[in-house]
Structure 1
Amino acid sequence: MSKKNRTKSAGNRVPKDLYEAELKRLQIELVEMQQWVTSVGARVLVIFEGRDAAGKGGAIKRVMQYLNPRHARVVALPQPTERERGQWYYQRYLERLPTAGEIVLMDRSWYNRAGVERVMGYSSEEEYQRFLRQTPTVERLLVEDGILVIKYWFSVSDEEQQARFASRLNDPMRRWKLSPTDLESIVRWEEYSRAKDDMFAVTDIDEAPWWTIESDDKRAARLNAISHLLSAVPYERLDPEDVTIPDRPDATDYERPPRERSRYVPDIAAELGTKKSGKKSSKNQPAKAA
């Protein structure tokens, strides 16, 4: 798709009300899918890759939002330590693979070597070529051992990426996302494109294919990613166990210690409404509930 066409289509974004309704439906299915994964002891590995500011983090957040964190986790590794640099390249990633009954979402993965390391010159040509030779074998071994490997590439146009970078500039909650490497991706756009094409040519294997998600519309990208993930996991809906909430027994002779003996967090929330109305509140008075 050309830049012009992608930018034009990005104007037709999914309406917020439709997005929220469909997202809720899909997230309910994700919970049902996780229950199956846990019940049968499946191992699910989902790799999220793509351009900087392509929306990977937002998609991961929506996938994880209602999952049980005891059986699902996000892996987002920092730069390797000195010790890790002396290991086999894949070693620190393989240590984080899912165990039985677990879902692991990798926010970037071993594909750093074929992307940022390749473009920025952080790895040697020999290391890069070794990566291309070994990665299909590594992933086939994972699949052969029973791990379900799902790989997503989030694709964003250069115009939309530029706009997202600009929106982060004055946002104190997202300013940290503007790293020097992120900004360098602007001037190295075509280098990253070639690196991605070369990577796909070797690692888009039948056992673990790449799935591309157009992400100029973040809402559509999230819905499409979750919908596809659900279709890629061969789960069955399990009937939930019957749960009976017991009646609360009558109070006996318990007496709560005086409140003055406890330390309470200041109740700044109680003051929010009074700032507009001008009313004074009873400062930092604890609620009656324990």
Structure 2
Amino acid sequence: MKTPPLPEISKKQYKHDLHALQIELVKLQKHFIGCNDKILVILEGRDAAGKDGTIKRIVAHLSPRETRVVALGKPSDRDRTAWYFQRYVPHLPAAQEFVLFNRSWYNRAGVERAMGFCTEEEHEEFMATVLDFEHMLVRSGVKLFKYYLDISREEQAQRLKERQTDPLKQWKISPIDAEALKHWDDYSCARNEMFARTHNPVTPWTVVRAGNKKVARLNLIRDLLSRLHYEKKDERLLLTNPDVVFPYDETYLGNGMIAP
């Protein structure tokens, strides 16, 4: 089976569609504030997959009082001796809040696993308990969504190279960048194990082919909005492209829909 090509979009059409979807996001926020909902969105993916840009477009016109973006740094010495999920718990949403995690507790299944930053025992403990943790959140009323932004090795190399020359992206450069491509296969193995062991009916993974940033952003936002209830929803705006955003399935690891 040939992998479907990613669609293209003009700058004019992108701006038009994004504006319309941002209006829908404002409608959503007004609704969930009134209903005391708690929404948590996790964005994972390769380095340079487009998580920052996607989050920026989602929160652009939302109320900062009820919207939070969480991007935790390197764990402290104290964090390393605490219960693994402990550093994430204070950032979870309360009623009326919309929280986006730019990377999350899945660091342990991704970068920590690929780079050897955790032990086998720590990794196994995470894998054995993460779904219990997530299911507890869902039972408490949190609406939890997990997205994985996927790009090819070539696309990652190009984007990391651009970071080196773009003065506005210097803050994105980290020592991990230099290792990302070297450890591509290690990241792939870690990702595949993460999908196999943590994709489930209650907190499933949704994959976004992010080779085209603009198309990826629009389709992720459409998918998120389509899965949440709010008043005056314009369903016509929320049709996603199944070649861009789709629920994880093991077959996609072999047919090219998820980069090897």
TM-score range, shorter chain: 0.7 to 0.9
Q: CA deviation at 1:202?
A: 0.9
Tell me which residue corresponds to 1:127: 122
Q: CA deviation at 1:168?
A: 1.3
Tell me which residue corresponds to 2:32: 37
Q: 1:110-144: CA deviations, max 9, x gaps?
A: 00000110111110100000000000110111111
Contact 1:132 1:203 in 2 (8 A): yes
Taking the aligned partners of 1:35 and 1:74, their CA distance within structure 2 comes to: 18
Tell me which residue corresponds to 2:182: 187
Instruction: Tell me the amino acid that sits aligned with residue 202 of structure 1.
Output: R
Q: CA deviation at 1:175?
A: 2.2
CA RMSD of aligned residues (A): 1.5
Pair 1:145-2:140 in alignment: yes
Taking the aligned partners of 1:95 and 1:85, their CA distance within structure 2 comes to: 16
SS at match of 1:45: strand
Tell me which residue corresponds to 1:171: 166
Q: CA deviation at 1:236?
A: 2.1
- Using the size of structure 2 for normalisation, the TM-score is 0.87
Contact 1:75 1:106 in 2 (8 A): yes
Tell me which residue corresponds to 2:251: none
Instruction: Tell me the amino acid that sits aligned with residue 41 of structure 1.
Output: N
Of residues 150, 154, 160, the one that matches 2:155 is 160
Instruction: Tell me the amino acid that sits aligned with residue 26 of structure 2.
Output: V
Contact 1:50 1:56 in 2 (8 A): yes
Tell me which residue corresponds to 1:47: 42
Taking the aligned partners of 2:230 and 2:196, their CA distance within structure 1 comes to: 30
Of residues 46, 58, 67, the one that matches 2:62 is 67
Instruction: Tell me the amino acid that sits aligned with residue 217 of structure 1.
Output: N
Q: CA deviation at 1:178?
A: 2.4
Taking the aligned partners of 1:13 and 1:157, their CA distance within structure 2 comes to: 17
Correspondence list, 1:61-140, <5 A: 61-140=56-135
Taking the aligned partners of 1:127 and 1:49, their CA distance within structure 2 comes to: 20
Where do 4+ consecutive residues of structure 1 move more than 3 Å? none
Q: CA deviation at 1:194?
A: 0.8
Q: CA deviation at 1:214?
A: 0.4
SS at match of 1:52: coil
Taking the aligned partners of 1:173 and 1:233, their CA distance within structure 2 comes to: 34
Taking the aligned partners of 2:213 and 2:127, their CA distance within structure 1 comes to: 31
Contact 1:93 1:110 in 2 (8 A): yes
Tell me which residue corresponds to 1:24: 19
Taking the aligned partners of 2:181 and 2:138, their CA distance within structure 1 comes to: 35
Of residues 169, 191, 206, the one that matches 1:196 is 191
Taking the aligned partners of 1:184 and 1:127, their CA distance within structure 2 comes to: 22
Instruction: Tell me the amino acid that sits aligned with residue 45 of structure 1.
Output: L
Of the two, which has the highest radius of gyration?
A: 1
Q: CA deviation at 1:237?
A: 3.4
Name stretches of at least 5 consecutive residues in structure 1 with no aligned partner. 239-290
Taking the aligned partners of 2:217 and 2:174, their CA distance within structure 1 comes to: 24
Q: CA deviation at 1:13?
A: 2.3
Q: 1:195-233: CA deviations, max 9, x gaps?
A: 000001111111110000000000000000110110121
Taking the aligned partners of 1:170 and 1:26, their CA distance within structure 2 comes to: 32
Q: CA deviation at 1:14?
A: 1.2
Taking the aligned partners of 2:68 and 2:20, their CA distance within structure 1 comes to: 21
SS at match of 1:236: coil
SS at match of 2:143: strand
Tell me which residue corresponds to 1:215: 210
